Amino acid sequence: MRPIASFAFAILLGTITVATCLAHDMSAMGNMGGAPNAMGAHMHMDEHMKMTELRPQSPEDEARAREIVAQLRTALMPYRDYRVALMQGFKIFLPSVPQDVYHFTNYPASNHEYEGRFEVAHPGSLLYVKKGDDYVLVGAMYSAPGYYSPDQLNDLIPLSVARWHQHVDICLPKGITLSDVLRDRIGADRTDMPGTLPVAANPEALDLDHRLGFMADGRFGFEGKIHDEDACDAAGGNFIPLAFGWMVHVYPFQGDDLKVAYGMDVPAVAAK
C-alpha cells in the first residue's frame, strides 16, 4: 500500500511542539492537562520518532553530502520568496497552528519520492521559519518509502552525515485521518471530540479548541502523550503505527558545516 504524501511533515509531519507564541495560552489553561503540539525546532528520538543510526564517514560520503548541499542551495534560490512556492503548487502544512518550522509541500513531488524517485533539485517539501507575516526559507525535506532499508537510504543521502526519521505510533482521534491533518482539517470547528478541551473548565478553552482542534490538549498527534495502541483505544483514538515514510531535513544556507546542514536543529534566522 502506498504511503500518503508527507508533511510535511516534519511533518510531519512534522511533528509537534507548540511555538513559544502560545505560552500565554498554556498558562491560561491551568490544570486542563497537556499542551498543543506542532512541529518543533529540534528533532530527537522518542516514542514517536524513529531515526537511522549514524555510520562512520568516508571521504566519498563527505563529497556526496557537499554536492547535495551545493545543488540544493542553487535549486532553492527561487523559493526565498515563499509566494513563489505557493504559486508553484506548494501547500503549507497546518498553517493555522503556530510552529517552529513550516513545511510547504508539493504533493505530486512528495508522492514521487514515496514511489522511490529521488531528485536532489526537486525536494518534496520546503522548510520555512515564520517571521511576523513573512516566511524565511531555511531548507528542504526529502522523503522516501517507509519500507526502504538503511542501505537504500544511504544511497540517497549518506547515513554518516544525515539521520533519516519516521513518525511512528501516532494516536489521532476517531474521525480524524492523516489525510485530514495534511489538509488542516483538525476539528477546529468542534468542541465535542477527543482532544478538544472541556469548555466548562476554562473560558480560554473554547478559543484553543477553535484554533487547534484535537491538538488542544496534547494527548493526540505527532508528539502527543499517547504512544501505544491500548491507550489510544481507551482515549477514543485511531492508532497509526507508521505515518508516511522516511524523511530527512537539509539546511543548505548555514555555511559549510555538514553537521549543521544535516543537523537536527532548525537554524535560527533573522527577519528580512
Q: pLDDT digit string (tens) for 241-254?
A: 988 899 999 999 98
The residue that leads in pLDDT, 120 or 48, is 120
CA–CA separation, 141 vs 266, rounded Å?
12
Q: Residue 43's pLDDT is what?
A: 56
Helix (H, G, I), strand (E, B) or coil at 204: helix
Cβ pair 266, 101 in contact under 8 A: yes
Percent of the chain with pLDDT over 70: 82
Average of per-residue pLDDT across 59-63: 97
Residue 174, pLDDT > 80, answer yes
CA–CA separation, 52 vs 233, rounded Å?
29
- DSSP class per residue in 187-212: STT-SSSTTS--GGG-THHHHHHHHH
Residue 175, pLDDT > 80, answer yes
- What is the dihedral sign for C-alpha 266, 268, 271, 272? negative
Phi/psi of residue 26, nearest 5 degrees: -65, -40
CA–CA separation, 191 vs 205, rounded Å?
9
Q: pLDDT by residue (tens digit) across 82-102?
A: 999 999 999 999 888 888 999
For the chain, the C-alpha Rg in angstroms (whole number) is: 18
Q: Nearest Cα to 255, choosing from 54, 66, 44?
A: 66
Residue 12, pLDDT > 70, answer no
Helix (H, G, I), strand (E, B) or coil at 209: helix
Helix (H, G, I), strand (E, B) or coil at 148: coil
238: cell is 485511531
Q: What is the DSSP letter of 193?
A: S
Map grid coordinates 533539485 to a residue: 121
